[in-house]
Amino acid sequence: MKVLVIGGIAGGPSFATRLRRINEDANIILFERGSQISVASCALPYYLGGVIKDRSAVIERTPEILKQKNNIDVRIFNEVTAIHPDTKSVDVKNLRTGETYSEDYDDLLIATGASPTVPNIKGLEDADNAFVLRSMDSADKIKHFLDTQHPKHVTILGAGSIGIETAEAFVRNGIDVTIVEQSAHVAAPFDPEITDIVAEELHKHGVHVILNQSFTEVQYHGHQVVLSDGSSHPTDMLFIGTGVKPNSEIAAAAGITLSDDNHIIIDHHLQTNLPDVYAIGDVVETTSLITGLPTPSLLSSAANRQGHLLADMLSGNPFETEYKGFIGAGVSKFFDLTASYVGYTEQSLKQLGITNYQTVFITPFDHAYFYPNADRVNLKLIYENKTGKILGGQAVGRNGIDKRIGQLSAAITGNLTAFDLPQLEIPYSPPYSATRDVLNIAGYIAINQQTNQYETVKVSDIPADDLTSATFLDIKEPGKSTTGSITPTLNIPLSQLRDRITEIPKDKKVYITFRKGIGPYNASTILAGKGYQVAMITE
């Protein structure tokens, strides 16, 4: 069995090493056009920020180790330039010597990943201070620039997770950072309930954020950017974090079917439309485990697990017979906050035309409030109306964020519904959680929503008539400040609500204005129990 692997960072080495462990006789050759294999790409911002000091720690395996430990023939600086399905062979160019040669295969894996997109901006090609981050080589270039040029200011285009993680690295280097983002929010793919909190964190750490703007021109060899509103901003350095595009050119030329956005389409056996040709990782389009709809799978954990699974499937492992689909579970450190997501956001559902869903937004403490350092978990759950099928979840906060989203991801994998969440038995002790923990509460609220005890509504969904005629009740206690974006029409502290309930007109709908915690929920149940039509604003 001769197996060729194209791509040596995440998916490729994961596949090759697993295959070796179950097949000692296979001839495995791995081609990588870059200078390194098995780079922990996700760690690069932490290396640049000085959190990880040792460069070699970011390179998990070298070609020599893969040869010595796993008997894999690793060829760095070797680029596969063509795939010939008719002869089951590939053309390869040795980038150091210029030599070209062919290699035949029984099975071929394409794990060529993705490359950063660089928008076509006038003057950007003349900038000698503009960088992207994807590989160790790109990280080395940034590090060299920081160490030799000592920039005082950097302008980042794109406020996605790589833009923000790299912003933190620059701040740790003492550099003043401005992020320019074309949309109205930072931290895509999160929804606004989460991104507003991330934006505050950026502000707190001195990062300037300019929303709804892009670069229209780069001037003076990268030392000034012009934005869509015509304003000019001097800078010492540019960083482009505007997303990635799949490396699928050689696949397309070989007749492999691609999606509209150039990802390789694979089936549940991770196979392309060509016999014995497989693909995994950032280069593929697979299907969503949640909706069955096509989706790219742009995450390191997905690439690694797909590689392991493919080796097992090719070896006939009876427990690993197909790839069930991609959920999409990510987590990012944004300064002192953790933000994590699983599945679909509300924005992505809207883009797909899916509207039959409900959202729950809760802000309970991450552990018992009476134990020191309790902090809020701001969690949004999205589920399908009536069935309770979990479509996605997002959370942001300081403690226990990835734990809750990990639990939700496991619930999705196990096909649990939002109505099953109250039954999740979550380990409890005051330093760690609450007796009814975050996902239990989210499940209770989903059930309440479906049994119509009270409504939950976002400010943007309040009917225009209600904005002028309804009662907007603030339940803040004396001395506390009003929260949320709606100006209340009435304030009755929750502790006095039962005694003063007659002050609230019964012929008008009552909206409980937004507050963190369980207070609005308690107020809603009191009012609903007395026959009021009540809705709780979740902002």
Ligand X SMILES: Cc1cc2nc3c(=O)[nH]c(=O)nc-3n(C[C@H](O)[C@H](O)[C@H](O)COP(=O)(O)OP(=O)(O)OC[C@H]3O[C@@H](n4cnc5c(N)ncnc54)[C@H](O)[C@@H]3O)c2cc1C
**Residue placing its CB nearer to ligand X in the complex, 163 or 520:** 163
**Residue 30 burial (CB < 10 Å; 0-12/13-18/19+)?**
buried
Q: Could you tell me where the beta strands, DSSP code E, fall in 254-354?
A: 264-265, 277-279, 284-287, 294-296, 329-334, 337-343
CB 123 within 8 A of CB 214: no
In order of 114, 194, 202, the CA distances from 187 in angstroms are 20, 9, 11
Element (H, E) at 449: helix 438-450
In order of 21, 91, 278, the CA distances from 28 in angstroms are 12, 16, 15
C-beta of 220: minimal distance to ligand X in Å? 28
**Residue placing its CB nearer to ligand X in the complex, 111 or 418:** 111
Q: Provide the 8-state DSSP code for 486.
A: S
C-beta of 412: minimal distance to ligand X in Å? 17
C-beta of 282: minimal distance to ligand X in Å? 4
Instruction: By CB under 6 A, name the binding residues for ligand X.
Output: 6-12, 31-34, 41-42, 44-45, 79-80, 111-114, 133-135, 162, 247, 250, 281-283, 298-301, 303, 330
C-beta of 405: minimal distance to ligand X in Å? 13
C-beta of 327: minimal distance to ligand X in Å? 12
C-beta of 297: minimal distance to ligand X in Å? 8
SS3 of residue 517 by DSSP: coil
**Residue placing its CB nearer to ligand X in the complex, 330 or 484:** 330
Element (H, E) at 168: helix 161-172
C-beta of 140: minimal distance to ligand X in Å? 13
**Residue placing its CB nearer to ligand X in the complex, 114 or 536:** 114
Q: Cis peptide before 372, with omega less than 30 degrees from 0?
A: no
Q: Provide the 8-state DSSP code for 205.
A: T
**Residue placing its CB nearer to ligand X in the complex, 45 or 520:** 45
CA separation for the pair 224, 230 (Å, rounded)? 12
C-beta of 108: minimal distance to ligand X in Å? 12
For the record, the structure tokens of 187 come out as: 């931290």
**Residue placing its CB nearer to ligand X in the complex, 341 or 454:** 341
Q: Provide the 8-state DSSP code for 188.
A: T
Measure the CA angle with vertex 415, ends 411 and 420; round to 5°: 65
* DSSP code per residue over 44-79: HHHHHTTSS--GGGGB---HHHHHHHH--EEEETEE
CA separation for the pair 367, 438 (Å, rounded)? 9
In order of 302, 395, 406, 420, the CA distances from 390 in angstroms are 20, 15, 13, 10
**Residue placing its CB nearer to ligand X in the complex, 281 or 400:** 281
C-beta of 277: minimal distance to ligand X in Å? 14
**Residue placing its CB nearer to ligand X in the complex, 300 or 417:** 300
C-beta of 135: minimal distance to ligand X in Å? 6
Start-to-end C-alpha separation, the chain:
59
- Which is it for the CA torsion 429, 430, 432, 437, positive or negative? positive
**Residue placing its CB nearer to ligand X in the complex, 408 or 470:** 408
**Residue placing its CB nearer to ligand X in the complex, 135 or 378:** 135
**Residue placing its CB nearer to ligand X in the complex, 330 or 343:** 330
CA separation for the pair 49, 65 (Å, rounded)? 28
CB 389 within 8 A of CB 416: no
For the record, the structure tokens of 389 come out as: 């099928």
C-beta of 249: minimal distance to ligand X in Å? 8
C-beta of 413: minimal distance to ligand X in Å? 16
**Residue placing its CB nearer to ligand X in the complex, 216 or 300:** 300
